[in-house]
Chain A
Amino acid sequence: MKTKYMNPYLAGVLLGLVLLMAFFFSGRGLGASGAMKSVMVTAVDVVAPEHTANSDFYGKYVGEGKSPMKAWLVFEVLGVLVGGFLSGALSGRLNWKIEHFPGISSNRRLVFAALGGILFGFGAQLGRGCTSGSALTGMAVLSVGGFVTMAAIFGTAFALAYFFRKNWI
């Protein structure tokens, strides 16, 4: 079947090379959720600076001489936005859209997207990184935690797939 997307194995090799370049240049791998943490920490710090100064969690990122937005992952994720946009523009995929299985409503899709995001945001903090930072990058450096996180993410998604099938098929 002709598909409008890149061959997945070719895309995988390119993804691996991008990851390898991150290791080669910066000595670290890819990530995503860490940038969202930086944004959230910064926002809370603006609204309630006393709260962040006294917190074990926020205190790791804010305070004298620390600027959470000047982080590697923040700039990398800004790049992801630009790269994704360029790719979408080149392939004619730029448009406002709530994408969902035709069997469900847009509202249902958005509610589940929000719930999924909350769980993923929480889980990525607990697991010290998401699919890219912990699972993909962790596996590439052969970290036990990387393999464990990968297995837990995909294993759970498979295990729960039956219960959420009406959303997708």
Chain B
Amino acid sequence: MGPLVPQEIIGANWNLFIAFAIGVGFGFVLEQAGFSSSRKLAGMFYGYDTVVLKVFFTGAITAMLGLLFFSLFGWIDLNLVYVNPTFLGSAIVGGIIMGAGFIMGGFCPGTSVCAAAIGKVDAMVFIGGIFLGVFFFAEGYPLLKDFYMSGSYGPLKLHEVLGISSGVLVLLVIIAALGMFKLGEMAEKKWPREEY
């Protein structure tokens, strides 16, 4: 049955409308969770507020389980779902640069849009920075291209590398997440925060 647009069960001309509707849900949930506040987001890295950990991993697990079940029920053909290709070098270095941006800026791109939507000026400045960062990358692309394309493994999946089934991998992620949630709850008790 699904995914509906790639299978042409829903016309491709609906795809952008669907994108908008999904974005509304995404932005609404992020804002309700408190992701429109850089101080809440940064709290993750000082232990006073671990909402990022809880929302991010609960979200990832829910989607993983959903895909597993949908595929089991024959509701979705996983071969038609886009899998991010793995380029090891640029994934690691890109992630490191993003991590530095996260602790300095207090946002990631999605949360900054959400925060800008409710009037956070610091988030608007962060978005301005993103445009500049993209521009630097675009202009530097001739120099970066070799590294950008290096370590290519295609749409590689973690359970294939580990030699286990996808269900077992998801179970392991769930167990790891439960452990991290426990740590997060303990950290929040140890470093209580003021309300902001």
Contacts and interface: CB of A to CB of B under 8 A. Distances in A.
Interface of B: 2-6, 10, 15-34, 36-40, 42-46, 48, 51, 54-67, 70, 75-76, 80-88, 90-123, 125-138, 141-142, 144-145, 148, 153, 155-159, 161, 166, 169-170, 173, 181, 195-196
Contacts of B26: 15, 18, 30, 76, 79-80, 83, 132
A82 B104 CA distance: 26
Interface residues of A, number: 126
A20 B39 contact: no
Contacts of B22: 18, 21-22, 25-26, 30, 76, 79
A25 B10 CA distance: 8
Contacts of B155: 143
A52 B25 CA distance: 34
Contacts of B2: 23-25, 27
A9 B50 CA distance: 11
A97 B21 CA distance: 27
A129 B63 CA distance: 18
Contacts of A113: 38, 105-107, 122-123, 125-126, 129
Contacts of B136: 118, 121-122
Interface of A: 1, 3-6, 8-9, 11-33, 36-37, 39-41, 43-44, 55-58, 70, 72-88, 91, 93-101, 109-110, 112-161, 164-165, 167-169
